[in-house]
Amino acid sequence: MRVTHKYDAIVLGAGFAGLYAIHAMRQRGFSVHGFEAADDVGGVWYWNRYPGARCDVESLQYSFSFSKELEQEWEWSERFAAQPEILAYIKHVADRFDLCRYISFETRVESAIWDEDRARWTVTTDRGDEWDAAFCIMASGSLSVSRLPDLSGLTTFKGETVHTGMWPDRPIAYANKKVAVIGTGSSGIQAIPVIAEQAKQLTVFQRTPNFVIPARNGPLAQEKQKTWKAQYEHWRARAREVGTLYEFASQGALDVTEAERIAEYERRWAMGGVNFVHSFNNIYTDAAANKTAADFVRAKIRSIVKDPTTAEKLCPTDHPLGSKRICVGSNYFETYNRSNVALIDIREEPIVEIQPDGIKTSRQVYPVDLIVFATGYDALTGALTRINIHGRNGVALRDKWNKGPKNYLGLMTAGFPNMFVITGPGSPSALVNMIVGIEHHVDWIAECLVYLRDKEIDRIDVEPEAEDQWVAHVNESADKTLFVKANSWYLGANVPGKPRVFMLYTGGLKKYREICDDVAKAQYRGFQLSQTTQRKRAL
Ligand code: FAD
Ligand code: NAP
């Protein structure tokens, strides 16, 4: 017989978002239970154990701000922490706040069905049990559904295949092997230099070259950490406005002389990291300004890569700099100077099929023992549309979103009452330090639930007009930027058949937070708050 467990809230996922959601709900006196498909906490940092995986937001920023003790006690060892250290940090958070006891691990949520009469969700898992909750909090991740390309012959391959986003927790032997990496986004560009150091031969299959800025990673000086920690309150407050603390410029790229511009790009290139895109204040918005930054990076690629043909293949030309997520790497372009590394441009030489011993392109067969797929994710919507979610009148979320993920403030979608999404489509999400975004969403949702509890309201849904207006605002904001000029995962372009809709809010974190705050202050303007008939009868 099915056992039904009753909770105020169900939380899906035990990454940064799920853990903080569980903590925040419990602190406010809600009963809560979490589910995680993996056997431990960590989310992205559990799944992405590939060589070279690390954050590109500096460690001191890429961490929780909700506990002063936590931020003081944790010591980061590097400017950009590597995956094992971030995972250790997340485990420390889970232990420190005793969160694992509220989570079912190795449990995948398969469905969530809304019951209009009772104003509750019924959640089922792959363990066959059933959970009953007033609220569903989807902390299922924006980049948690890895994508393998549909390559013919893949199942005939005799060697090993692995995706960066599902890297097993065991050594993957690549030393002295013939390795192929397919994909040159942020994951591929981190893995390639590390694999190249040990592989016998590394063949990189590139579809689109990317702008890669050097990380200039290194040990985090004790002094810097100490000073930063002493000023944490100030930095965190600033991060809540801007998302990630970069050195923001006050002038445009074309407002200065060429010599001044180049000097600024050189300074930022030496500084390392995403700061480069903020060299001038119009890189994301003005095509001519953007071209000056792109030309600078292309010149750097040509100066680093010794073989001119390879250098040209590595120069991105089909999208503005930053319009696809800018990559931050270490020794990426330098790696192509190694004698054991070859670059194949699959636009010139498409992959025809995978054979038992290698990869066949239109020109030749490349013998391979291990294939690393760094081919990205069904981002932002993938984790949600894979669950059987049915809202009012039995409407399926995947049907509602078949032309794009309509939502209000990125927090809820009309017709799916009491279901909140964390850093999903319609929010700034991956355009800012995601931990800042996660904390904002969780705090907003937690306060909303307190408001509903205080007012004895048990149902919150979105007004369809508010949703339409928000979607229009998200689109208008995106159209003012160069983000819409690239075939990126931001607009679903990497998944064949996915609707092409720019999914992130580009209006800035400060404005976004102000809008969310105003909505809450105006008794949740744009939301429908109501009581079930059952509750009305009881009163
Ligand atoms: P996730 O960490 O993705 O956690 C979601 C969890 O939900 C997963 O563990 C998944 O197993 C689980 N789940 C999903 N569906 C179900 C289901 N149906 N049932 C049960 N469990 C389910 N962001 C930055 O700001 N800075 C960075 O430097 C940065 N680096 C990144 C590096 C990599 C390699 C990747 C892939 C992403 C990076 N990101 C970065 C973005 C990253 O997604 C966020 O920073 C953050 O880790 C997201 O946390 P989350 O809890 O929202 O989601
Ligand atoms: P991604 O940016 O989507 O890159 C995927 C790569 O695979 C692209 O080069 C893509 O080419 C290629 N590809 C996809 N399908 C292919 C196919 N069928 N054949 C050949 N090539 C194919 O994915 P990702 O690198 O995993 O990064 C995703 C996001 O995770 C990042 O944007 C970032 O937000 C986050 N991340 C951050 C870091 C970090 O530095 N902290 C590290 C890793 C990931 P096209 O460009 O032509 O589609």
Domains of the chain by residue range: 4-145+379-538, 154-373
pLDDT in tens, 464-485: 999 999 999 999 999 999 999 9
User: Could you tell me which residues are beta bridge partners of residue 412?
Assistant: 408
Q: Distance from the CA of 47 to the center of ligand 2, in angstroms?
A: 15
Instruction: Name the average pLDDT for the chain.
Output: 97
Q: Distance from the CA of 163 to the center of ligand 2, in angstroms?
A: 11
328 lines ligand 2 (CB under 6 A): yes
Return the pLDDT at 134. 98
Residue 536: is its pLDDT beyond 80? no
pLDDT in tens, 205-240: 999 999 999 999 999 999 999 999 999 999 999 999
- Which pTM does this prediction carry? 0.97
Ligand nearest to the CA of 112: 1
- The dihedral over CA atoms of 506, 511, 514, 519, expressed in degrees to the nearest 10, equals -50
- Closest CA to ligand 1's atom 9: 43
Mean pLDDT to the nearest integer, 23-40: 98
Return the pLDDT at 535. 62
Q: Give the whole-angstrom CA distance, residue 412 versus residue 422.
A: 9
Ligand nearest to the CA of 351: 2
User: Could you tell me which residues are beta bridge partners of residue 371?
Assistant: 161, 180
Which pair of structure tokens corresponds to residue 105? 């691990």
- Closest CA to ligand 2's atom 35: 186
- Closest CA to ligand 1's atom 33: 44
pLDDT in tens, 339-386: 999 999 999 999 999 999 999 999 999 999 999 999 999 999 999 999
Residue 538: is its pLDDT beyond 90? no
Ligand nearest to the CA of 109: 1
Do the beta carbons of residue 398 and residue 188 sit within 8 Å? no
Return the pLDDT at 4. 75
Ligand nearest to the CA of 381: 1
Mutate to test the pocket of ligand 2, among 62, 164, 186, 487 (most ligand atoms within 8 A of CB): 186
441 — phi, psi (to 5°)?
-60, -45
Q: Distance from the CA of 145 to the center of ligand 2, in angstroms?
A: 12
Q: Distance from the CA of 186 to the center of ligand 1, in angstroms?
A: 14
User: Could you tell me which residues are beta bridge partners of residue 360?
Assistant: 353, 365
Ligand 1 atom closest to the CA of 17, numbered from 1: 51
Do the beta carbons of residue 278 and residue 248 sit within 8 Å? yes
Return the pLDDT at 464. 97
Q: Give the whole-angstrom CA distance, residue 493 versus residue 404.
A: 12
Return the pLDDT at 532. 77
- Closest CA to ligand 1's atom 30: 55
Q: Distance from the CA of 184 to the center of ligand 2, in angstroms?
A: 6
Mean pLDDT to the nearest integer, 138-151: 97
112: left (phi over 0), alpha (psi -120 to 50) or beta: beta
Residue 165: is its pLDDT beyond 50? yes
Return the pLDDT at 534. 61
Which residues 6+ apart lie within 8 Å of 228 measured at CB? 60, 235
64, with CB counted inside 10 A (0-12, 13-18, 19+), is buried
- CATH class label, 4-145+379-538: alpha beta
- Closest CA to ligand 1's atom 23: 434
Residue 3: is its pLDDT beyond 80? no
43 lines ligand 1 (CB under 6 A): yes
Return the pLDDT at 1. 46
What percent of the chain has pLDDT above 90?
Answer: 97
- Closest CA to ligand 2's atom 17: 149
Report CA 13 to chain centroid distance, whole Å. Answer: 14
